Amino acid sequence: MPAPAATGSIVPVLSILPWDIAPLLKQRSRKLWGELPVMIGPDGSLITVPVGLVVGAQSGPTAYVGAGAHGDEYNSMEITRRLIQELDPPAVNGVVIGIPVQNPIALASGQRTIPNQPWDSDLNRQFPGQAGGAFTARLAHRVFSLVARANLVVDLHTATSGDRYVPLAYLPGRDLVLERSREMAKAFGVEVIVETPIAGTLIGAANDAGIPGIIVELGAGGLLERRIVEFGVHGTQRVLGLAGILDSNERVHADPVVVKELVPVRTECGGWFHSFGEAGDRVRAGAAIGEVTRVPDTIETLTAPCDGVVARRATRGLVLAGDKVFLIAQVRA
Ligand SMILES: [Zn+2]
């Protein structure tokens, strides 16, 4: 019986990479996409993550750019895909490793975390991972094997579905590389920097290994936003420029608000949520910034707890009592 005619939809686009990618980095001035083998799935098929490798014509540092640790953060995935596609190997000094989808299981499920994993389902709390650990820890371990090759790391995120972030960087790691990481966040052009330890993040584990790096949050979960994608590609290119991987000298004159934590605003009542402004707005303490309504009336007015910048706001129309609908980066006088 003749084999069925192949169609574009079922022919694998990417080839399977070797377990160790080191030999692929020896040949200068080339770009390739491949699938990094991770483990065998329950149906016997190979679980892989897509990897873009850009080996520059000139030697230089290695950058790791990842996205999609959470499955509903499409802006960050598209930024990483586009970044790799737009890099021109002859213009690159060093190596750029890009993984647009670090968590293919969550993406296929359309969810933030890995389903059917009641424990440890959040990939970005499992780094550096464990070869002999549970499913999520094994995935983290495999991804981290590429992170560990890098001299700098950018891990791109987007708010979870139902929320929107202003361009913001989390620096979750140690003092050892904090200054360098802060420079990266400023080069990216974020408006808010939050310097706070978060256990198990990819960047925290990279920092522990002495590698500077930033988590960058961009835009609204569940959406693909052209303006945000554009900003994210250019921001990542500016970080590569700072490291000397690109010859670009483009600098932004951003003066981000730097805080140790974000101040939450929670609802007291469930209902329909209205935000009066956008992520990135400056607010004054006591100012009305949103409300909750339900039949027949407005039941709650939400006010800013401090002077600051709206770092994140809910985009969902329905909220429950106790929902964190705003996060404010406090600006002290
Ligand atoms: Zn995320």
How far lies 274's CA from each of 150, 282, 307, in Å? 43, 17, 20
pLDDT number for residue 41: 87
Rounded Cα distance, 143 and 125, in Å: 13
Q: How far is the CA of 257 from the centre of ligand 1 (A)?
A: 21
Per-residue pLDDT for 7 more than 70? no
Q: How far is the CA of 105 from the centre of ligand 1 (A)?
A: 14
CATH of 15-257, one of 3.40.630.10, 2.130.10.10, 3.90.1300.10, 3.20.20.70: 3.40.630.10
Query: Does the pTM exceed 0.85?
Result: yes
Q: Which of 30-44, 175-189, 267-281 has the highest mean pLDDT?
A: 267-281
Q: How far is the CA of 36 from the centre of ligand 1 (A)?
A: 21
Contact 277, 310 (CB under 8 A): yes
Q: How far is the CA of 68 from the centre of ligand 1 (A)?
A: 7
**Residue located via tokens 């209205």:** 274
Rg (CA), the chain: 21
Q: How far is the CA of 115 from the centre of ligand 1 (A)?
A: 15
Mean pLDDT of 46-72: 97
Q: Which of 16-20, 26-30, 43-47, 98-102 has the highest mean pLDDT?
A: 98-102
Q: How far is the CA of 120 from the centre of ligand 1 (A)?
A: 15
Q: How far is the CA of 163 from the centre of ligand 1 (A)?
A: 11
List of residues 6+ apart from 84 with CB closer than 8 A: 31, 33, 52, 54, 65, 96, 98, 100
Contact 212, 242 (CB under 8 A): no
Q: Which residues pair with 52 in a beta bridge?
A: 33, 98
Do 15-257 and 262-330 show the same overall fold? no
Reduced to 3 states (helix: H, G, I; strand: E, B; else coil), residue 87 is: coil
Helical segments of the chain, H only: 74-86, 104-109, 135-147, 178-188, 202-208, 226-242
Kindly write down the DSSP assignment for every residue of 236-271, as one continuous string: HHHHHHHTTSS----------EEESSPEEEE-SS-E
Q: How far is the CA of 246 from the centre of ligand 1 (A)?
A: 26
Mean pLDDT of 221-234: 97
Q: How far is the CA of 191 from the centre of ligand 1 (A)?
A: 18
Per-residue pLDDT for 229 more than 80? yes
Q: How far is the CA of 12 from the centre of ligand 1 (A)?
A: 27
Q: How far is the CA of 158 from the centre of ligand 1 (A)?
A: 5
User: What percentage of the chain reaches a pLDDT higher than 90?
Assistant: 86
Q: How far is the CA of 100 from the centre of ligand 1 (A)?
A: 12
Rounded Cα distance, 331 and 299, in Å: 29
Mean pLDDT of 222-249: 96
- The domain segmentation of the chain, as residue ranges, is 15-257, 262-330
Q: How far is the CA of 118 from the centre of ligand 1 (A)?
A: 18
| pLDDT confidence tier of residue 58, bands split at 50, 70 and 90 | very high
Q: How far is the CA of 266 from the centre of ligand 1 (A)?
A: 21
Q: How far is the CA of 67 from the centre of ligand 1 (A)?
A: 8
CATH architecture assignment, domain 262-330: Beta Barrel (2.40)
What's at 9, amino acid-wise? S
When the pLDDT of each residue in the chain is averaged and rounded to a whole number, the result is 94
Kindly write down the DSSP assignment for every residue of 154-199, as one continuous string: EEEE-PPBTEEEEEEEEE-S-GGGHHHHHHHHHHHT-SEEEE---T
Reduced to 3 states (helix: H, G, I; strand: E, B; else coil), residue 292 is: strand
